[in-house]
Amino acid sequence: MSVSDSSAGRQFDPQADRYAVIGNPVAHSKSPYIHAQFALQTGERVEYERLLAPLDGFVEHVQAFRAAGGRGLNVTVPFKLDAHALAHKLSPRAAAAGAVNTLRFDVDGIFGDNTDGFGLVRDIEVNLGVSLEGARVLLLGAGGAARGVVLPMLERRPREITIANRTAPKAHALVEQFEGPANAFGCLLNGGGPHAVDPRPYDVIVNATAGSLDAALPECDERAFGAGTLAYDMMYGAQSTVFMRHAQTLGARAADGLGMLVEQAAESFFVWRGVRPEGAPVLAALRAQLAAQPA
């Protein structure tokens, strides 16, 4: 069985440790470029490729890659739940998220982690310079993307997180799931349908819905956006998303999720190698690449 869509004809460094991103589709992934830059930056001997797995062949492809000497995988759509089920041991943040985006192959089994929330928090706080401590945060959406970032945000001790979702029961379920950690970190956690949004400006609004893929805006009171609001869309592209443009018309500062992509990758690299690369120069290079794309 062939386990790669990109290794044919390539000459791998036999002394390098092999990693990959696995998904379907996966040809568009920027992870090979990002991790190649991290390897150059840190001096780690790493080879990184793309693995295209059929929708019913995730486990077989992971096992084949591991058997061939692979050391770890990034996991993208639609396999994050499969990776969670496959892991023998989970990090606390992966257990809380109910999904895994990073697998590390240890001598005693497969370790599963989720670095998405860490990437979001680091991008907001380090790259964008907005502190979450004491902040009022609005999280739009209650699906897997939202679930993966609640605990890392709570760990930064915001004053309040409101989860607003088109279907209120899903938001209520997230609030119930994270009620314990919220209390421990002194954060007011609440949520419900679109009506749960406070009609006053928030410090940070995170769009965790997939609406930007279809140029659809999540339902949200426009009064939630203000001049001091950071409106963050987890999606990214060569152009600003519809959510970002909407936020800017309401006076807010807008940012996309490219920095989250880079920073979650840096955290994965740390999970694998014990070395933490700097995301900022890689993010700047990716921004330049996107800016060079024709509109």
Structural domain contains residue 11: no
**Selection from 122, 87, 125, 90 nearest residue 230 by Cα:** 125
Structural domain contains residue 65: yes
Same domain flag for 162 and 254: yes
Structural domain contains residue 96: yes
Map tokens 């120069």 to a residue: 281
In angstroms, how far apart are the furthest CA atoms of the chain?
58
| Residue 80 annotated as catalytic | yes
Tokens describing residue 227:
């001049």
Q: Does residue 3 surpass a pLDDT of 80?
A: no
Report the alpha-carbon distance of residue 122 to residue 130 in Å, rounded.
10
Q: Does residue 6 surpass a pLDDT of 50?
A: no
Same domain flag for 174 and 245: yes
Per-residue confidence band for 213, with pLDDT thresholds at 50, 70 and 90: confident
Residue 251's pLDDT is 98
pLDDT in tens, 27-78: 999 999 999 999 999 999 999 999 999 999 999 999 999 999 999 999 999 9
Residue 293's pLDDT is 83
Per-residue confidence band for 12, with pLDDT thresholds at 50, 70 and 90: low
End of a domain among 59, 87, 114? Answer: 114
- Please tell me the total count of domains within the chain: 2
Q: Does residue 292 surpass a pLDDT of 90?
A: no
Ligand-binding annotation for 216, yes or no, is no
Per-residue confidence band for 152, with pLDDT thresholds at 50, 70 and 90: very high
Q: Does residue 175 surpass a pLDDT of 50?
A: yes
Ligand-binding annotation for 131, yes or no, is no
pLDDT in tens, 87-125: 999 999 999 999 999 999 999 999 999 999 999 999 999
Q: Does residue 10 surpass a pLDDT of 60?
A: no
Q: Does residue 2 surpass a pLDDT of 50?
A: no
Tokens describing residue 160:
């309040």
SS (H, E, C) 251-283: CCEEECCHHHHHHHHHHHHHHHHCCCCCHHHHH
Report the alpha-carbon distance of residue 135 to residue 115 in Å, rounded.
22
Ligand-binding annotation for 169, yes or no, is yes
The whole-number average pLDDT for the span 136-155 is: 96
Residue 294's pLDDT is 76
Residue 291 exposed, middle or buried by CB count within 10 Å (0-12, 13-18, 19+): exposed
Report the alpha-carbon distance of residue 209 to residue 194 in Å, rounded.
13
Higher pLDDT residue, 13 or 150? Answer: 150
Residue 15 exposed, middle or buried by CB count within 10 Å (0-12, 13-18, 19+): exposed
Query: Strands 160-164, 46-52: parallel, antiparallel or unpaired by DSSP?
Result: unpaired
Report the alpha-carbon distance of residue 137 to residue 112 in Å, rounded.
28
Report the alpha-carbon distance of residue 158 to residue 118 in Å, rounded.
15
For Cα atoms 200, 121, 98, give the angle at the middle one, nearest 5 degrees. Answer: 100
Phi, psi of 195 (to 5 degrees): -65, -15
Same domain flag for 138 and 101: no
Ligand-binding annotation for 264, yes or no, is yes
CATH number at residue 215: 3.40.50.720
Report the alpha-carbon distance of residue 234 to residue 139 in Å, rounded.
11
Per the structure, the complete domain to which residue 184 belongs is given by 117-258
Same domain flag for 96 and 124: no
Q: Does residue 250 surpass a pLDDT of 60?
A: yes
End of a domain among 80, 99, 114? Answer: 114
Out of 80, 84, 122, 136, the active site residue is: 80
Percentage of residues of the chain with pLDDT beyond 90: 90
Structural domain contains residue 267: no
Phi, psi of 72 (to 5 degrees): 180, 165
Q: Does residue 208 surpass a pLDDT of 80?
A: yes
Q: What CA–CA distances, in Å, run from 184 to 136, 151, 189, 190, 218?
A: 17, 11, 11, 15, 30
Same domain flag for 103 and 122: no
Ligand-binding annotation for 142, yes or no, is yes
Residue 286's pLDDT is 96
Sign, CA dihedral 119-31-11-66, equals positive
Phi, psi of 95 (to 5 degrees): -65, -40
The whole-number average pLDDT for the span 222-228 is: 98
Residue 295's pLDDT is 64
| Buried/exposed 155-165: b ≥16 CB within 10 Å, e otherwise | bbebebbbbbb
Same domain flag for 83 and 208: no
The H or E element spanning position 171 is: helix 168-177
Mean residue pLDDT of the chain comes to: 94
